[in-house]
Amino acid sequence: MVGVSGVRGIVGESLTDEVAEQFGRAFATMLPAGATVALGWDTRPSGPMIRDAVIAGLNAGGVNVVDLGIVSTPGVAMMIKHLSAGGGIVITASHNPAPYNGIKFMTPDGLNLPADQAERLKNIWQSGKFTTSETSGTITQNDQTHSIHIEAVCGIIDVKAVAGRKFKVVLDSINGAGCVGTPLLLEKLGCELVHINSEPTGEFAHKPEPISENLAGLCEAVREHQANVGFAQDPDADRLVIVDENGKFIGEEYTLALASAFVLRQQTGDLATNLSTSRMMDDIAASAGMKLHRTPVGEANVADAMNQYGCVFGGEGNGGVIDPRVVLVRDSFVGIVLMLNYLVETGKAVSELASDLPKYEMHKEKFPCPPEAAEKILLAVREAFSSRPSAKINDADGLRVDLPQGWLHVRASNTEPIMRIITEARDAESAGKIAEEVRKIADVARASRP
């Protein structure tokens, strides 16, 4: 599977050492001769094999590699900038299960490849026409990622004030890339750390996606240790979710919402998020007198909008926060420091800060949909909802309709023949009703002849 965020597949099936080497060679073909690439990987057992294959491909194309070791995705992005590298690569399949791995490519700015460059990379790979260099590229090691990353994130908060509080924190790093750097960060912030799933072995102790059903262990540890807060990272440590002081998972949408609320106390400026993210973000921006820019789904789209509109903060509702003062990719370290500083500054508990935000309930579902039916369905949903009082339409990515009582977002998946419906309203029942209405319209549209 080759998408905007890179290549991802099951190791030994769709993602082999041969494919990895070809992508190394394809990326080298895109870069100027003698370029340097910063490269890191998460803790998956297949990491070293994919790494060696990608490096072989890069070196064959004359590209020099700076090997960062096991580091987070935002850590690689930081180092690309720090080293003035010509690009970056992370070997990770993010939140996908252990049999998967992936190769994620980054620009010299530490951003995910924009769609046109991702397309170009794919075309070069498919053509098999790679540049071959007479002189092989070099490999050097660099172990500075954690310290440079930690220094950067500490630069956006009041470290002294946070350290003075001596928070008790439970951290679940899912035996992933967050295992090494995150405890160093929390140590610098004076926290008493209970670290679970803390060995960088890549043996995931639970399903790696940081969502409610996978976090029972973290919730229990927060209660058992009477901690102030619990944090969970995904395997490449770009996403973060939060458990409150009662051991209750507050929901992945709250990472971005709480961090945004805090940042708008620090600074003035606009926010950006994707079309599937909670209305809490509209409320937070509005109450500070700022604008929220909505983008198509995908981290790169949010980063683009942040660049374009000079946003002070942004991210995605899946626990991905982006602070341009650090780097323009999702960063769990940023979420951690902002949350802790927010607790200090307000003197409130996590549960209080969460309940200070307007309360919404989200509803998510998907249904099978052949690609050729998607257009018809979107048109029918648009027709049905656009005449509603105060309906606001955004068709930048599928269709989002904002209504006074809630909103809906319908879009076809890029990777599977399905459509996703996300709705949100003041309570679960109302959110479910909006989704039901959408589904009925979709059923009729799909059955109708063109």
Interface with Mg ion by CB under 5 A: which residues? 94, 234, 236, 238
Measured from the CB atom, the residue of 94 and 301 that comes closer to Mg ion is 94
Taking the complex as a whole, the smallest distance from the CB of residue 102 to Mg ion amounts, in Å, to: 10
> Residue 290 to residues 143, 265, 312, 448: CA-CA distances in angstroms?
40, 12, 10, 43
Beta carbon of residue 308, minimum distance to Mg ion (angstroms, whole number)? 24
Q: Burial-class residue 225 by CB neighbours within 10 Å (0-12, 13-18, 19+).
A: middle
Nearer to Mg ion, 90 or 157 (CB): 90
Residue 318 CB, shortest distance to Mg ion, in Å, is 9
Strand partners of residue 37: 65, 87
Comparing CB distances to Mg ion, the nearer of 78 and 441 is: 78
Q: What's the CA gap between 354 and 341, in Å, rounded?
A: 15
Among residues 440, 430, 412, 421, the alpha carbon closest in space to that of 360 is found at: 430
Residue of this chain nearest to Mg ion (CB atom): 94
Beta bridge partners of 293: 272
Nearer to Mg ion, 234 or 304 (CB): 234
Distance CA 6, CA 106 (A): 9
| CB neighbour class for 220 (10 Å; exposed up to 12, middle 13-18, buried from 19) | middle
Nearer to Mg ion, 236 or 244 (CB): 236
We find the least distance from the C-beta atom of residue 95 to Mg ion, in angstroms, to be 5
- Minimal distance, residue 368 CB to Mg ion, in Å: 27
Q: What's the rounded Cα separation, in Å, for the pair 66 and 174?
A: 26
Q: How far apart are CA 176 and CA 371, in angstroms?
A: 35
Distance CA 9, CA 35 (A): 27
Question: Residues with Cβ < 8 Å from 13, sequence gap 6 or more?
Answer: none
The minimum distance between CB 351 and Mg ion, in angstroms, equals 26
CA dist., res. 278 & res. 195, Å (int)? 30
Catalytic residue check, 332: no
- Cβ proximity to Mg ion, 36 vs 73, nearer residue: 73
Q: Is 55 exposed, middle or buried (0-12, 13-18, 19+ CB in 10 A)?
A: buried
Asked whether the beta carbons of 290 and 271 are under 8 A apart, the reply is yes
Q: Which of 5, 46, 72, 94 is catalytic?
A: 94
Q: Which residue's CB is nearer to Mg ion, number 101 or number 228?
A: 101
The catalytic residue positions are 94
